[in-house]
Structure formats: C-alpha cells, structure tokens
Structure 1
Amino acid sequence: MTTDFPTESGLAGAQSPSGRATIIDVRITPIAFPDPPLLNAVGCHEPWALRAIVEVDCGDGLVGLGETYGDASHLTVLRMVAPLLVGLDPFRTEHLRSVVDRLLGTAEAPAEKLGPAGGMGPEKTALRVFSAFEVACLDLQGQAIGRPVHDLLGGRVRDEVPFSAYLFYKWARHPGGDADRYGAALDPDGIVAQARTMVRTYGFQSIKLKGGVFAPDEELDAIRALRAEFPTLPLRIDPNAAWSVATSRRVAAETQGLLEYLEDPTEGLAGMAAVAETAGMPLATNMCVVSFDHLPEAVERGSVQVVLSDHHYWGGLRQSVRLAGICETWGLGLSMHSNSHLGISLAAMTHLGAALPQMAYAADTHTPWQLGVDVVEHPLTFVNGAVPVPTSPGLGVRLDRDALARLHENYLRQGITGRDDTGYMRRFHPDFDPAKPRW
C-alpha cells in the first residue's frame, strides 16, 4: 500500500498546547472493488467501483477512519486538504471545517478543485471533502474517550438501524466477465428473484427498486409482482427523475396503496411540487434537495415530504444531525441515501441512524452489491434487515490492511478513474440516450 502523504517521523503522540493529541499524518488511499452491472436511468455501473479510504493519525496507534468518493477529481481535492490538517486538534472539527472552507469553499476556488460536486459550486465541494475527515475525527474522538460515535451525536435512540433491500435491474454479467450470485434481472420475475435472495440473506423488511431503466408500465409490473410476493413489506421505486410530470402523476395514481414513498420521479423542485399536488403517497428525494439552501423553496412549494440524507455530501455526521432537526421542524420525513460503499461508510451510517429520532424510514444500502468484499476486519452485519448499533469506541470497525493493499492494487491496475455509467452503457448500446425526461 502506498500513502499519499508520508508520516512525519518523531511526532508520534504529539501534543497540542492544551495537552491533547494532534494530527500527525493523514493518509488517502484510493481503492477499487468489483461492481455488478447494475442498470439505472443514466446507464450501467462499470466493473469497478471507486472509493477513497481516509486515515487520520494522532500517533500511538490512535487512527480514525473515513470513507469517501474515489473519483480522480475528488482525490485531487482530498490531497490538497490533507497536509493542512497536520498539527490540528481532531476534537476541533469546526476549526477543521474552516480550514477546508478557506481552501475550497470560496467563489474564487478554481474549477479544477471542485471534484465530483463541480456543478454544485465550491461550498458543496468543501462539504463533500470535509465530511470524510470529520467522520475520521469523530472515530478518533470516540477511541480517545472510550465512547462510540453515536454518543458524540447525542446518544443512541435505537439499538438497531433498519435498512432496505435495494433492487436493481441488471445484466447477468459484465460483457466478458463472470456471472455473480444474483444473476440477471430484466423483468418482473428477475426482480422478484433478486428480492427473494436479499430478503432471505439479510432479512430486509422493506424493498426499494431502482427504476428509470424500462418504460414505466414495465416497472409498475415489477412493483405489483413484488407486492404479490411480499404482501406486508413497504415498497419504493426511484426512477432518478426519468419521468415527465404527467407520467409521474399517472404512476403515482396507479401505485396509490402500493408504495411507501415515490422517490425522485421527475426533475426539479417545481416538477416535484406538481407531482406532489396529486400524489397519494409522500415524494422523497436525494436529487432536488441536496443542500440546506434548497430546503426553503422545497418547503414553500411542497415539493417533497421525505429527504434522503447522505453524510458524504451533506457535510458529515453533525451536519446530518442538523438536517434532521430542520426536517423535523418542517414536518419532513427522513431517511438515508446510499451509493456504492464499504464497511466504514456503513458504520458511519449506522451510528448516525442510531442517534436520529427523526429517521422514520429504513435507510438505503449497497452492502449486498459488495458481494462480500470489504476493507474492514469485521464488517457490521445485518440481523432481520437491521444493523445492531456498535457500542465499542469510535466507529467500532478496524481497517484490514491486507484488504486495503489488495483493493489499492485493484485501483492501480484497473484503469478507471471516474464513474461513467453512460459511457460504459454506450460501449454496448451506442444509441443509448440518458436525456430526461425519457418517458
């Protein structure tokens, strides 16, 4: 394994003027792990998912862990920030955030610094970068005082955090690759078979289908088939805004009584508000409300009734607690969004979910799609669809350095440096058009 920033020798156990340990080293390790051919509104997942593992080291074995996006542009900004954290107090996360903001969170920040949030401005980029370091610092804090991270967020209000089965239309294999345990899912029967496997393996008590792949009527047939197979489990569908307002209204009418909520059927706050006017179920989003300044208009228009938080881009765990409080004030429901992730992110999500009384819906997770690969020694496990909340200090997971080295080697040899679902799909279907609305 290589590190992007060499450890400063002779600083182990370095102390701040207050006598508290300070950060002596920050390591950023990009990794890649196999990703199945999962289909969505903009294409297909490539054979490798990218992440970056963050280690914030205070010496004497005290190392905090974070996990974040692994795209090359995001790695660039992580590497810009990391050296500036050396010498800082890991308990002063607001000061750490100010360091990140000064570098990245200004209108003058060059475009090449904006990473995966480039279209959303420098402030959002700064939050995405800060979040990985904040989680690592909270892990450090918990280890230092012998308390779990959820105690640093207000204490747990539940002993287990429920998650939802996350179904995808998918090919049986990547072209030229081997089949995975889930096989193909290109019709209602395939989706139901996938759901059976996930419910049997993980015990999930709710089900979400990633839509926007086939015509809405075909996806409605899959929802109806899931209802027939699982008559008591809450169902959701997320077409990633692939439908027009008119189509979204029709789907909402036809799924009244079938769906727990309808996620991002159409684009934008105005479009979602138009659908919400007639929908018989809540509308949820992780697309049109992704920063705090989106909330006033969303509330005024009545665009959404459920916000899917994601600490990776909302600015970390404490910012997510702040979001939960705002949602409670305005009567909005709360859940958690997921992207391809490993065990450090699952642990962070679990600690956050444990401390949020406002979380009324099971969270999303991509854990089943890791196919057993992880970067921690003992990943958290699912019991009846929920993850028992860790009670050991910090996040409660430890880095598997052999696994980290293997996954870093994957990153070095596989050649993918950024996610491109559309480009990958067009390799096999050159006429694929991700324009929205498609239906």
Structure 2
Amino acid sequence: MSRSRINRVVVTPVAFADPPLLNVVGVHQPWALRAIVELHTDSGLLGLGETYADEMHLARLGAVAAALPGQDPYDLNGLRRLVTDVLGRETGGAGASFGGMLDVSSAVDTVLSPFEVACLDIVGRECGRPVSDLLGGAVRDRVPFSGYLFYKWAGHPGHPDDEWGAALDPDGVVAQAERMVAGWGFGSLKLKGGVLHPDEECAAIEALRAAYPDLPLRLDPNGAWTPETSVSVASRLAGVVEYLEDPTPGIEGMAYVAARTDVPLATNMCVIAFEHLAPAVAADAVQIVLSDHHLWGGLRRSALLGGITETFGMGLSMHSNSHLGVSLAAMVQLAAATPNLTYACDTHYPWKSQDVIAPGVLSFSDGAVGVPTGPGLGVDLDRDQLGVLHEQYLTCGVRRREDTVYMRSIEPSFTPNTARW
C-alpha cells in the first residue's frame, strides 16, 4: 500500500486579544500572533501545527511550505533535511529571535517544529493512534499545569479595563491567583517577575505562600537580577519557592548562583538549544530545563531532550508563550509521553478568550488537562473561528512581537530590566 504524500500546505497567520502582561522587556501588545499550519495529503488526511507568526518567521514558513508537496509525512529525518536546505538557500542559515528574550543561532528547529507536529498528526490519524503513542506511549492520562500569574495593568491604555483588572502589588497578585485557582483548579503557581524591585516581587511570593500554604510556587524574572541579587533572593525565598527560573542571564551567571544556593534553578533562556546543554551541565548552572517544542525542533527532539535531562539527573518542565489549542494539544501529547516530566507545565491558555480548535476536547479540571485519546493530536480546526482570527490578524496592525517598542509608546524612557537589580 502506498503511503500518503503531502500535496498542499496552508499557513494561516492569526491574531487574538492579549492583556497588558508586564515583563522584563516591556508589556504584551493588544494582539498576540500565531500561525496555524495545515498539511493536506493526497489521501485526504490533514495534520495541524502551530507556531510563531512574526513577519520573518512567516517568510521562512512560506519558503518551506512551497517545497513540501511530495514529502512523505513519515520521513521526519527527510523533513529536517528539507527545512535545513530551504533555510540555507533562503537565509544562509541565519538565527532567529522571538519576543526580545529568546535568541537561537539557527532558525531550523523553530521552523521545523510546526511541520513535524503536523506530520505526526497525519501519521497518528492514518494509523488511528494518538501522538503520545508515536512518542513511546502515554505514562499519564492527565497533564498538570501551573497557573501563570503576571503583573499587569487594568487594561491597555486607551482601551476599557479587561476582566482580570490590575495586578501591581501583592494584593493584586493574590487576587489574580484566586481567580486562577477557582477557575482552573491549578495546583501550583508561577509569577512572571522582572517588573518590580526584587523586594516587591519577594513580597508577592510571600503573600502567595500565606494565601496558599501548600501550593508549589515559582518566580521567573527573566534575568532581571545580578548574580549577587539572585543569591540574596534565593536565600530569602529558600523553602518558599519550588524553583527560581532564570534569575540572572547566561550560563556563567546561573552557575554562580547555583553554587551559592540550594534553591533549584530552572531555565528557558540560557538553555534553549541542544548546543547549550553541554556547557550548562559542565557548569552545573541549572537543575531544571523548561522544554518548548516550538524552540527545540518539535516533539521527537523534545523527547530526546527529556532523555538527556534524565541522564544527567536534571529536572524537566515545560515553557509556555501565548498560544492556542493546537499548541496545547501538542504540549499535552508530549507531556503524556515524557516519563521524567515531573513538574507541572506552564501555560498561557487561561489568558486567551478565543481559539481555532473545535471545543470539547481540551479542558482544565483540577489544574490538569486530560490527554486526548483520539487519533493524532486529537483536535480539529474550527474553520469559522480560524477565519475570525485571521481577519483579526489582517486588521490589527501588529506584525511582530515588540514588547519594548509598545512599552516605549506608553513610557518613552523605558529600558529593558535585564540584570537591572
């Protein structure tokens, strides 16, 4: 029996409303961008992927999409060769940057990821098995997530206040946590820091501990502190936080902190590609790696990362950026099949109010998402909603994520807080 071949590729950029979430480099714009990838086969199958949608990334996706017809969706090694060859011709193998905080030396993995996910979706649909089975089999049927807290304004300037309201002090952060726990049942909480002085952010974590004595807590300032300040904060929050995520920039800085505290250090900034693993392990710079299939080259390479972290006795969790349901489905399938992913995953999902997938498959209960057992990713597109979000992309005016530029349009003197304190 002949295998299916890809005969049509559709990449649809979409936009959805995003609250004014503050971070080390500025504030989220009113619209978040994503791209939905559809791979159609000559046998009538459809595979889905999701990724970033800034202009340069869309151009790279388009170049690969044009070369994909005729590709065997089972040949994932061939897919990687194709992506590498196309990007080598189109960009000379240049790197990529996302959101002002994540920079990689090669764009191959970030471009490969949505196509690889879509191919696995096709294979799963063709053989009638969930993607978790293609990754070795599910070791859990529910994937726990962590409630993601942000300092934020009440609303975007010039717009009505959003339903979440402001969170600019410990009381506001606790109120936000109460809504997260009541609405989604999260059993752990993470605060995005790097916005206020470390003492104020420590006070917010301590207020969360008082409100939730038994919930694991995390603080992620995205490298806003010097190594010395990071050590001081770690001392203050020892026994309070489950881990500190990227308190200071770089492997060298993280190693300095790790040598002076027993508080575990996690990262999604200094280890975001395979070439970063060896120096990080050699320096004992991080104890927990936050995987992200969008950055690491898809689901199979993320599973490989899981094996490497297990080999070196490192913890494993999962990073999140503003995303929709196709990404959530891929995250859940990957987490289900990763035995050593023992920390609750991050997710921005509660912050969005629209989606492109048909409802009824992915839902949060007691802070976890049940693993879809249908074929492939287990989700289908809502074509009407895809059209709505694409129209929003066309009219919103946002073409790349620029937190610093947007913040400076409101506060002209703003500079990113990296290693500020």
Tell me if both proteins adopt one fold, taking TM over 0.5 as the criterion.
Answer: yes
Structure 1 SS opposite 2:225: coil
- Please show how residues 36-435 of structure 1 align to structure 2 within 5 Å: 36-104=19-87, 106=88, 110=91, 114-116=95-97, 119-122=103-106, 125-371=107-353, 373-378=354-359, 380-435=362-417
Task: For 1:264, give the aligned amino acid.
Answer: D
- State the Cα deviation string for residues 239-298 of structure 1 (Å, max 9, x = none): 000000110000000000001000000010010000001122110000000111111110
Name the counterpart of 1:34: 17
Is this contact kept in 2: 1:35–1:46, CA < 8 A?
yes
In 2, Cα distance between the equivalents of 1:78 and 1:114? 14
- State the Cα deviation string for residues 94-121 of structure 1 (Å, max 9, x = none): 11111111122x5x76369655369532
Unmatched segments (≥5 aa) in structure 2 = none
Structure 1 SS opposite 2:347: coil
In 2, Cα distance between the equivalents of 1:375 and 1:288? 32
Structure 1 SS opposite 2:364: coil
Is this contact kept in 2: 1:333–1:358, CA < 8 A?
yes
In 2, Cα distance between the equivalents of 1:116 and 1:246? 28
In 2, Cα distance between the equivalents of 1:294 and 1:394? 31
Q: Residue 233 and residue 119 in structure 1: after superposition, are their counterparts in 2 closer, same or farther (change >3 A)?
A: closer
Name the counterpart of 1:10: none
Task: For 1:214, give the aligned amino acid.
Answer: L
TM-score, normalised with respect to structure 2: 0.97
In 1, Cα distance between the equivalents of 2:22 and 2:42? 44
Is this contact kept in 1: 2:22–2:151, CA < 8 A?
yes
Is this contact kept in 1: 2:146–2:345, CA < 8 A?
yes
Name the counterpart of 1:12: none
Equivalent in 13, 16, 20 of residue 3 of structure 2: 20
In 1, Cα distance between the equivalents of 2:165 and 2:417? 28
In 1, Cα distance between the equivalents of 2:207 and 2:92? 47
Is this contact kept in 2: 1:166–1:364, CA < 8 A?
yes
Is this contact kept in 1: 2:195–2:417, CA < 8 A?
no
RMSD: 1.4
Pairwise CA distance, 1:61: 3.7
- State the Cα deviation string for residues 196-252 of structure 1 (Å, max 9, x = none): 000000000000000000000000010000000000000000000000011000000
Q: Report sequence identity in percent.
A: 58
Pairwise CA distance, 1:127: 0.7
Unmatched segments (≥5 aa) in structure 1 = 1-17
Count of residues in Structure 1 that have an aligned counterpart in Structure 2: 417
- State the Cα deviation string for residues 363-398 of structure 1 (Å, max 9, x = none): 000001103x10001251011000011101010100
In 1, Cα distance between the equivalents of 2:58 and 2:20? 24
Is this contact kept in 1: 2:96–2:105, CA < 8 A?
no
- State the Cα deviation string for residues 157-215 of structure 1 (Å, max 9, x = none): 00100000000000010011122221100000000000000000000000000000000
Task: For 2:53, give the aligned amino acid.
Answer: G
Q: Residue 422 and residue 270 in structure 1: after superposition, are their counterparts in 2 closer, same or farther (change >3 A)?
A: same
- State the Cα deviation string for residues 55-107 of structure 1 (Å, max 9, x = none): 00014541000000010110000000001110111111111111111122x5x
In 2, Cα distance between the equivalents of 1:114 and 1:276? 29
Structure 1 SS opposite 2:9: strand
Task: For 1:284, give the aligned amino acid.
Answer: A
In 1, Cα distance between the equivalents of 2:145 and 2:417? 31
Is this contact kept in 2: 1:77–1:115, CA < 8 A?
no
Structure having greater relative contact order (Cα 8 Å, sep ≥ 6): 2
Structure 1 SS opposite 2:38: strand
Task: For 2:342, give the aligned amino acid.
Answer: A
In 2, Cα distance between the equivalents of 1:393 and 1:66? 15
Pairwise CA distance, 1:436: 2.4
Is this contact kept in 2: 1:210–1:237, CA < 8 A?
yes
